[in-house]
Chain A
Amino acid sequence: MASSQNAQLLPGTLFLLILRSLGRGPLHGYAIAKRIKNASDGIDIEDGSLYPALNRLLVKGLVQAEWGTSENNRRARFYRLTPQGRKYLEAETREFNRLIRRIQLAMRTV
């Protein structure tokens, strides 16, 4: 679905990036997109693909959303990690790092 639109991302990476960007507090959609873009140099995602991913996280109950006002005084929807989301982020980060290490190891030995 949403994540598969970005062939250059590992599956689930977009979820992880979103959750990570919310780690330091609630953000609205555009802010999430900006943070991901700034943090991950070279990863090119369409802003639009963010929303299906956000909705999937909502379905899973990993994030919550509520309407608020942005720094430019616009009505915007803010996303916040739920406790489950935080737990999930930690677990997945560990898992992700392990996966990356294994890939690096494999790349080196092959």
Chain B
Amino acid sequence: MSVLREWINRLRFFGNRRDFDREITEEIESHLEERAAELEKSGLLRKDAMRQARWEFGSTDVAREDSRGAWQFQWLEEFRTDLRIGLRMLARSPGFSILAVLCLTLGTGANAAVFSWVEGLLFCPYPAVVHQQRLMALTGTARGEAEPTLLSWPDYQDLEKNCKLFDGFFVSKITSTTLSIGDRAERTVGSIVSANYFDTIGVRPILGRGFALKENEGRNAHPVMVISYEFWQRHYNGDPEIVGKMQRLNGVVHTVIGVAPEDFYGTFVGWRMQFWVPVSMEEIFEPGGYKLDDRGARWIEAFARRGSGVSAKQAQEEIFAAASRLEAQYPLTNRGRSVKLWPLWQTPFNGAGTLLPTLEITVAVALCVLLIASANAGNLLLVFSSTRRHEMTVRAAIGAGRRRLLKQLLTEGLALSALGTVGGLIVAYLCRDALVLLFPARSGVSLYLPGRMDWRVFAVSVGLCASTTILIGLLPAVKASSIDIAAALKSEMAGVVGGHEKSSVRSALVVVQVSLSFLLLVGGGLLMQSLQKIRTASPGFSTQRVMATAIDLRSAGYDEKRARNFQDELLDRVSALPGVESAAFARVIPLGVVPYSSSPIVVDGYYVPLEELPTVEYNEVGPAYFATLGIPVIAGREFTRADQESAAPVTMVNETMATHFWKGKDPVGQRLQVKGKWRRVVGVVRDSKYEDMRETRKAFFYVPRQQAFAVSGILHIRTPLSIRTMSTLLTREVQALDGNLALNELITLQDQVNRSTSPQKVAVTMLGVLGSLALVLAGIGLYGVVSYTVSQSAREIGLRMALGARASDLLRLVLSEGLLLAAGGLVVGMATALSLTRFLGAYLYAMSPRDPLTFGIAAIVMVLVASTASFVPAWDAVHTDPTKAIREG
């Protein structure tokens, strides 16, 4: 209590400072008068009495100062003084200050920007959702499989019913459709959601309503949709009467029942959702038919929100228990399967999962940059403090305590770091949404990768910058404050400044910088080469002369019969075009986001228990598919038009599948059961890449498109024509068949490869940008140290030159100092890199994390930068006039 009263009193004093000064002066005056009057009474003269009174009183100034001091927060006052002096000193050497602040701005800026991405994409991705901090992603797991699986609707419903520690479950499965916008078709992404979606996440549509619970039920019974604000504005020009209007989605007319708020983009990291439909419409949006009654059909991506006060562990335990009850109850579909909860930042089924490893690397790299930047600032502070040795010495000599001097230097460091932090936060704020620039543009899909600058990002950035600065700024402060006054004054007089000890701290900082930049160079180099290798590696199909585009007949309302006719005719027309070598339809494009079909298979002569049937993925491809993509057929034949709906069911398998299931026997002519139907193997093709450029060989097969027809598909065309020409030709052919059908984007398969490797590209770009930044900073650091050394030994150099030393010898002498430091940094960096680059393993493709070529190139770059940074000041030193150097040195 009394402490509080004291504070209140002090604060009151703060308001009446001027009154206080007047009062204390008057009070002291009155004291002196009283005493003098008394002395006068005892017989002294007025003049002597006053002098006597003053003598007894002591210094009135000290009394006044100390009285005022009693009221002040002393540390605050001292801090203000330090800050004032510090800022004045910094303003007096603007070059130094600007450089130091710039270094810190870059370091903090890089970090804060990366943190804002981590915050916006991983930790707080859904700001419009209530209690998102308790939200967790829900997936299945299967014994023996590393990757999580999706969930089936019956399993999901049982979990929701049986788990009591949660206050909400919801489904949010990404899907897409094609919408015609003018004469162009655009892919539009949306979500299939459970009917409780909007209620559970606490988002209220701004127009109309969310879904009603009954809209979960009934096969295709509720063609209703909620649209995004953006969609409403772009597609309907913000029509206020939108509710009740009709929109065709995948060929089915849906009624718009609501519009989501402007700041709500759905629950999927990476893309803005444009529409939401209830799970009952699953069959319209998902391949593979109606799945709501099938416990074995896993297609759901879901979230669960823990009740308040429930830990993630408790939640997971309850989910485990519920999942094992399901396993016991439904062994046929659920054997070996469980369910797992993931924190949002690890969500495996959206952009969070894809970006997590990239962001991890980026955070590490950004921290390195900050360290390098702070080391630079520290170095500058060191140089700065030695130029102020004289001032410090004098202050120490007239009685400033060591602690006080240390505080002064620390305050200066903090002032620098505060300026740097403010600059950095501004940089970060400007860069918060820059991540999206690193991804290749894709027509129609609005990528959404927002950074988020909230108090946490703010606090971490400020804390980090302040602590590194203190850490590194303290070094020079401690060094500079341990001044032996006598020795320092003496050496001042002699003009020899800069002890050996201090320069060793500086050198250590440079070694650290060089080694960290080397590390980043190596990392960047490895990733860059790796990306190059991935993108130029053969995926097993031709990439350059093959183009693909999605022909979405389902969205256009085609039924199967019309679609078959349309596709056949379009193929005929396209194949007949001059310059087109061949063309083929397939349901799925390789390396895309649309999943392949998969089925448990039975192979004659390959015996396994019924419930352990292997599941293999396959694609539905049309005649001439392999010729078009350039995948060699190594045995048998490829599908032809004769492989009709009515013809004998056939299939083709890849090499890996042939060796795995037929053990070296020729599979052509053998039988394979797919989805309960026996098919005859008619051909074997070479392996290619199916989902990911980095995947290892896997079994895969194909069925003829005519025997497993899907209304929509991808048209592949082999042609030497340019994209632009082909696009015009194709549009003409499509329009000739159906004037209303708009065309999707046409891309080469190389584009497809590049898109599928965009996470690697992002990592490379990040490391490239930050690595170059680090290199520049390290260069500045090296330059600073060498030029400081040179400036300190200018006199010596001048003397030597006057005595006849050759310029080249001196140059070598000075250069060697910088290069020696660089060599030290290189050795340390090499050792660090050798032990750390293996963490890049997941990103590397067909190369060793210790690739000697990369290490070599990085070393050469480093040496070049170091030589330049040392050469410039050395050259200057050697070319100054010796007499001038001696006189001024």
Contacts and interface: CB of A to CB of B under 8 A. Distances in A.
Interface of A: 1-2, 28-31, 33, 46-52, 54-56, 58-61, 70, 72, 74-77, 84
27 contacts: A1-B66, A2-B66, A28-B30, A28-B31, A29-B31, A30-B31, A33-B31, A46-B58, A47-B31, A48-B28, A49-B58, A52-B63, A52-B67, A54-B67, A55-B71, A59-B9, A59-B71, A60-B2, A60-B5, A61-B2, A61-B5, A72-B37, A74-B30, A74-B33, A74-B34, A77-B23, A77-B26
Interface string B444-465: 0000000000000000000000
Contacts of B57: 46-48
B70 A47 contact: no
Nearest to A84: B2
B69 interface: yes
A79 to B, nearest CB: 10
B479 to A, nearest CB: 31
Contacts of A76: 27, 30, 34
A46 B56 contact: yes
Given A47-B57, A48-B57, A59 B10 contact: yes
Interface on chain A toward B: helix, strand, loop, or mixed SS? helix
A26 to B, nearest CB: 14
Contacts, number: 87
Contacts of A84: 2
A33 B34 CA distance: 11
B486 interface: no
Contacts of B60: 48
B62 interface: yes
A58 B13 CA distance: 11
A52 B28 CA distance: 11
A2 B64 CA distance: 11
A1 B71 CA distance: 12
B59 interface: yes
Contacts of A46: 56-58
Interface on chain B toward A: helix, strand, loop, or mixed SS? helix
A77 B35 CA distance: 15
A56 B70 contact: yes
B43 to A, nearest CB: 17
Contacts of A30: 30-31, 34-35
Contacts of B360: none
Given A61-B6, A84-B2, A48 B70 contact: no
Contacts of A54: 67
B70 A1 contact: yes
B321 interface: no
B798 to A, nearest CB: 53
A61 B9 contact: yes
B9 A29 contact: no
Interface of B: 2, 5-6, 9-10, 13, 23-24, 26-28, 30-31, 33-35, 37, 56-60, 62-64, 66-71
Nearest to B34: A30
Nearest to B72: A59
Contacts of B70: 1-2, 52, 55-56, 58-59
A72 B71 CA distance: 30
A77 B30 contact: yes
A60 B9 CA distance: 8
A75 B58 contact: no
B66 A52 contact: yes
B26 A75 contact: yes
Nearest to A61: B5
A60 B5 CA distance: 7
B56 A47 contact: yes
Contacts of A28: 30-31, 34
A51 B9 contact: no
Contacts of A72: 34, 37
A30 to B, nearest CB: 4
A72 B30 CA distance: 11
B59 A48 contact: yes
A31 B27 CA distance: 12
Given A1-B66, A51-B63, A59-B10, A77 B58 contact: no
B27 A77 contact: yes
10 smallest CB-CB distances across A and B, nearest first, come from A46-B58, A52-B66, A48-B63, A48-B58, A55-B70, A30-B34, A55-B67, A47-B57, A56-B70, A30-B31
Nearest to B30: A76
Nearest to B65: A52
| Residue from B10, B30, B71 having most chain A Cβ neighbours under 10 A | B30
A57 B10 CA distance: 12
A61 B26 CA distance: 22
Contacts of B28: 48, 51
Nearest to B26: A75
A48 B34 contact: no
A51 B27 contact: yes
A2 B556 CA distance: 91
A20 to B, nearest CB: 20
A58 B2 CA distance: 12
A18 B64 CA distance: 18
B654 to A, nearest CB: 87
Contacts of B66: 1-2, 49, 51-52
A10 B717 CA distance: 99
B68 to A, nearest CB: 8
Contacts of A75: 26, 30
| Residue from B10, B58, B59, B70 having most chain A Cβ neighbours under 10 A | B70
B841 to A, nearest CB: 63
A87 B712 CA distance: 92
Nearest to B64: A51
Contacts of A1: 66, 69-70
